[in-house]
């Protein structure tokens, strides 16, 4: 069966499967805002310092989730969000930038959505929805991998882990260029490009173009904010310089206090200690210049969040003006916790300077500058939680989730456990579109519509085991307990057991006091890993080392022609030099004799 015929049958099947109680024209529109690398407490409504009035307003007229989990890596979380299934099953066992050679091309590690996997967009389009996507994709750009091939009618995207926010340029030497596409065609960016503005502009353009159509729409707005490089207009950044001048220790303590006040953690719950690997944790040991630069880094981060929120407000205003706002479901979430990577202080810094980047204090965050908040600010951003992105501590996994719109309670709050794969089946229920599609893999996520309606208090029972794993960073939740392994460089690879309800900071390891529970959860994790196809990591694997190796390999593939030409030129030069030296050696007698006689003659003629 051809792919086109399959899609036609899919549309017919899903149209007939639409529940009779939900007429085509009455079904809600859906807008998903996906933020990159935002911590649980980064939005104002969760206690963050950044001014995010539009996100906060969505929360005020909707429901706030406090126990939502993603994976600790971006593409795996995106695969879960868009497919409703475990990311290994979908084909994104990790991100391609850190993939070891041994895993390449293996089932679950093809780094693109695999056969039998269809997206939320595909399912919604089969149910009569228009589908659009703008922003970061990171789920493959080979033939058949782009959004236009995965259920989206229109798309403008960058298929990379990140890109510059001001210009059409890559942010790491892993990429030769920033791979922007419109539909299937490579695309260029406008001169006045700023990522958050452009991503919203493009979505508004798609909605306006198809405004006369009767079908409801699904809009996936996937921001680059606040991924490295952190960049923002100066007008937003300047508002936060003084806020962060107190240092990361003070900010983290303040977030811990606010987390208790907001009920994100229990009163008196201990705060996780920072990893021992954070050498600069003592703010007072920094020089005045170092503190100024560090403060400005985090100010740019907050400024980028506010700039993104401003653009969210523009899209909301457009939906109001076109009369569809009241019938639109909004989702706001993040793909993982805060980013601790710091290319500025690593070997990549030389490449950054060679390609024209700078990190001058006065222009930090503006065009041409490169900013990363680093591990100390990432730990502060995670508040009372342990670790950050690329780790399975709560700081890497526990992320914000907000929903609003038809069938979603105003000023609601859900404290039940949910994971990213649960979002897709929930949206299908809200849209009245069937979950099951013939000849495709089933979703593994569970709809939490019953949580929104108040019919149930939890979608997972106390004995349900929910596993998460990416590049060795692993966790398994069961009721109030969490089995976790955090790998180097900041973790030690040891399995530990925590009661994350009483101890969300993961400060008291229960492995010795609950040995039977520890054995049971280790067994359940192995069952999960076998079920979804988790591959064992090569001996000595570390994420940061692997990305370095992959960068070198990619750069060699980009420039092998130049390198080969250079080697040929050098070899030819050495060969010519060797021939010349040989000629001199063979004729040295004649050369010395002739030159000696000429020299003697000149000397005699010139004597007085």
Helix 53-60 to helix 288-321 angle, to the nearest 10 degrees?
Answer: 50
Report, in angstroms and rounded to the nearest whole number, the Rg of the chain calculated over CA atoms. Answer: 28
- Among 121, 129, 150, which Cα is nearest to 22's? 129
User: Which residue's entry shows tokens 């003084």?
Assistant: 242
Contact 484, 498 (CB under 8 A): yes
The dihedral built from the CA positions of residue 528, 530, 534 and 538, taken in this order, carries a sign that is positive
3-class SS shares of the chain: helix, strand, coil, % to 5: 40, 15, 45
Helices and strands (H, E) in the chain, number of each type: 17, 16
Per-residue HEC secondary structure of 322-378 comes to CCCHHHEEEEEEECCCCCCCCHHHCCHHHHHHHCCCECCHHHCCCCCECCCCHHHHH
Helix (H) or strand (E) holding 202: helix 195-209
Contacts of 544 (CB under 8 A, 6+ apart): 341, 489
Phi, psi dihedral angles at 418 (to 5 degrees): -140, 160
DSSP alpha helix (H) spans, 398-493: 423-431, 449-453
Alpha helix ranges (H) inside 84-126: 87-90, 120-126
Q: How many CB atoms lie within 10 A of CB 285?
A: 10
Active site residue 74: yes
CA 368: distance to chain centroid?
Answer: 22
The residue annotated as part of the active site, out of 51, 74, 87, 103, is 74
Residue 515 burial by Cβ neighbours in a 10 Å radius (0-12, 13-18, 19+) = exposed
Phi first, then psi: what are they for 498, rounded to 5°? -135, 155
> Cα–Cα distance between 411 and 62 in angstroms, integer?
5
Q: Characterize the bridge pairing of strands 180-182 and 185-186.
A: antiparallel
Residue 138 falls in the annotated catalytic set = yes
Identify the active-site residue in 51, 87, 103, 138.
Answer: 138
CA distance 181 to 178: 10
Residues labelled as active-site residues: 74, 138
């Amino acid at each position: 069966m051809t792919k086109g015929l399959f899609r036609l049958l899919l549309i017919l099947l899903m149209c007939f499967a639409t529940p009779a109680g939900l007429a085509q024209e009455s079904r809600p529109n859906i807008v998903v805002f996906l933020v990159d690398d935002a911590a649980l407490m980064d939005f104002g409504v969760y206690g963050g310092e950044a001014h995010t009035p539009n996100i906060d307003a969505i929360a005020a007229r909707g429901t706030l989730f406090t126990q939502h989990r993603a994976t600790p890596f971006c593409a795996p979380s995106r695969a879960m969000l868009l497919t409703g299934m475990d990311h290994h099953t979908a084909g994104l066992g990790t991100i391609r930038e850190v993939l070891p050679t041994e895993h390449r091309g293996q089932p679950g590690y093809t780094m693109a959505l695999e056969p039998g996997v269809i997206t939320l967009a595909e399912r919604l389009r089969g149910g009569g929805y228009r589908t659009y996507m703008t922003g970061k994709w990171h789920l493959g750009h080979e033939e058949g991998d782009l959004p236009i091939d995965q259920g989206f009618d229109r798309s403008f995207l960058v298929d990379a882990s990140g890109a510059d926010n001001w210009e059409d340029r890559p942010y790491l030497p892993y990429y030769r260029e920033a791979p922007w596409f419109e539909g299937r065609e490579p695309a260029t960016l406008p001169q006045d490009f700023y990522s958050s503005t452009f991503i919203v502009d493009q979505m508004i353009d798609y909605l306006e173009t198809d405004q006369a159509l009767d079908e409801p729409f699904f809009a996936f707005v996937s921001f680059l904010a606040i991924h490295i490089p952190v960049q923002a207009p100066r007008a937003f950044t300047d508002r936060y310089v003084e806020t962060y001048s107190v240092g990361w220790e003070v900010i983290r303590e303040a977030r811990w206090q606010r987390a208790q006040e907001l009920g994100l953690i229990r009163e008196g719950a201990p705060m996780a200690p920072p990893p021992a690997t954070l050498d600069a944790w003592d703010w007072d040991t920094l020089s005045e210049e170092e503190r100024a630069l560090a403060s400005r880094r985090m100010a740019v981060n907050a400024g980028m969040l506010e700039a993104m929120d401003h653009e969210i407000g523009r899209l909301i205003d457009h939906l109001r003006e076109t009369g569809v706002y009241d019938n639109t479901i909004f989702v706001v979430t993040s793909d993982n916790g805060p980013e601790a990577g710091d290319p500025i202080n690593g070997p990549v810094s030389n490449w950054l300077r060679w390609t024209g980047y700078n990190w001058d204090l006065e222009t930090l965050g503006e065009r041409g500058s490169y900013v990363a908040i680093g591990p100390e600010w990432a730990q502060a951003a995670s508040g009372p939680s342990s670790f950050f992105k690329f780790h399975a501590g709560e700081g890497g996994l526990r992320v914000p989730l907000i929903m609003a719109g038809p069938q979603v309670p105003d000023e609601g709050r859900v404290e039940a456990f949910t994971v990213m794969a649960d979002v897709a089946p929930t949206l299908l229920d809200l849209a009245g579109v069937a979950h099951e599609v013939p000849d495709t893999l089933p979703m593994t996520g569970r709809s939490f519509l019953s949580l929104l309606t108040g019919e149930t208090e939890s979608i997972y029972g106390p004995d349900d085991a929910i596993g998460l794993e990416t590049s060795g960073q692993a966790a398994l939740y069961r009721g109030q307990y969490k089995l976790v392994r955090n790998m180097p460089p900041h973790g030690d690879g040891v399995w530990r057991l925590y009661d994350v309800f009483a101890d969300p900071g993961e400060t008291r390891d229960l492995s010795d006091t609950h040995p039977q529970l520890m054995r049971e959860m280790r067994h359940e994790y192995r069952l999960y890993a076998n079920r979804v196809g988790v591959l064992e990591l090569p001996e000595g694997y570390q994420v940061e080392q692997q990305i370095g190796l992959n960068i070198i390999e990619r750069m060699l593939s980009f420039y092998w022609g130049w390198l080969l030409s250079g080697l040929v030129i050098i070899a030819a030069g050495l060969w010519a030099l060797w021939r010349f030296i040989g000629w001199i050696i063979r004729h040295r007698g004649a050369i010395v004799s002739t030159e000696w006689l000429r020299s003697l003659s000149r000397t005699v003629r010139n004597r007085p």
